[in-house]
Structure 1
Amino acid sequence: MSAEAEPSWPGRRLGLPETGVTSVAGMGSKVGAFLIDIVLAGGIALLFTRPELPRNWSLITWAVMTVITVAVLGYTPGQGLLGIRVAPLGRTYVGLWAIPRTALIFLVVPPLVTDPDGRGWHDRLCRTVVVRMR
């Protein structure tokens, strides 16, 4: 008798489905949402700094926008457009965990070092996972 290996997919250990709503979002969707958010933050900052370029104001705008929208809605504008959201594990909302999560994303490396469930250091520390909304 041969033992068959159990099927495995990102999120399986977390009790998430392999596909569809609440399945783990792929890196492409997460990067795409991040790029949308960066462009949006730069545009908003530019409105307030014209005729000068926004410089670091776009980073501040991105951080504030990310913390507020993830804490309140569970997703950034870019994530919402791409149909993904930040889901908390073991609680009902992300809340103030959006602050350290955003700070770690700002450092760039934490989101890139992922575990088998597709969670970066920022998600593991804050007990969150990015999942599909639709």
Structure 2
Amino acid sequence: MSNAQNSSQEPRWAGEFLGLPETGAASMASYPRRIGALFIDWFVASGIGMILEPGNQWVVLAVFVVLHFALLWLFGTTLGKRVFRIQVVQLGGAPIKLYQAAIRAGLLGVVIPVIVIDRDSRGLHDKLAGTVEIHM
């Protein structure tokens, strides 16, 4: 089936239209894993934020965004993503670049782009950054 014919249809699996496999390494990371990773990353940021300035959730958010940016740029994964074996890569599989980590982390801090998803189950933050979350 050609891309033109398949473009109006729903994907059979998350990441199909991106050329990702249905299962296994390099397949799209599932929502439960992504949400689990997010909770771990927020927990770590909360701990650091509470040490820096107890009770200030803006500091927690800033720590979360900075950690997300730095760890994604340096390692392609965060602490939570590592636990759930998720990696963030460019479309095509290359490591993400500095500007992609910055776009993704900044939009993640705004929250709304994260809940706007496309038919391949990518959040707007991933779409705008040109990235995708895959299984390691």
Q: Tell me whether the two structures share a fold, i.e. TM-score over 0.5.
A: yes
Matches within 5 A, 1:9-24: 9-24=13-28
Q: Which residue does 2:59 correspond to in 1?
A: 57
Q: 1:86 is matched with which residue? A: 88
State the shift of 1:93 in Å: 1.9
**Partner of residue 71 from structure 2, selected from 62, 69, 80:** 69
Which residue of structure 2 lines up, in the alignment, with residue 102 of structure 1?
105
* RMSD over aligned Cα atoms: 2.0
1:37 alignment counterpart: 41
SS in 2 for 1:130: strand
1:10 positional shift:
1.2
Larger Rg: 1
- 2:67 counterpart letter in structure 1: M
Structure 1 gap ranges (5+): none
Q: Secondary structure of the residue that 2:57 maps to in structure 1?
A: coil
Moved over 4 A (4+): none
Q: Which of 119, 123, 132 is the equivalent residue of 2:122? A: 119
Report if aligned partners of 1:11, 1:18 keep a CA contact under 8 Å in 2: yes
Q: CA deviation at 1:129?
A: 0.6
SS in 2 for 1:56: helix
Aligned length: 127
- Once the 2 structures are TM-superposed, how far is the Cα of residue 91 of structure 1 from its aligned partner? 6.8
Counterparts in 2 of 1:12 and 1:91: CA distance versus 1, 3 Å: closer
Tell me which moved more, 68-77 or 8-17. Answer: 8-17
For 1:47 and 1:15, locate their aligned partners in 2 and report how far apart those are by CA, in whole Å. Answer: 43
Give 3-state SS (helix, strand or coil) of 2:67's partner: helix
- For 2:28 and 2:57, locate their aligned partners in 1 and report how far apart those are by CA, in whole Å: 34
TM-score by length of 2: 0.84
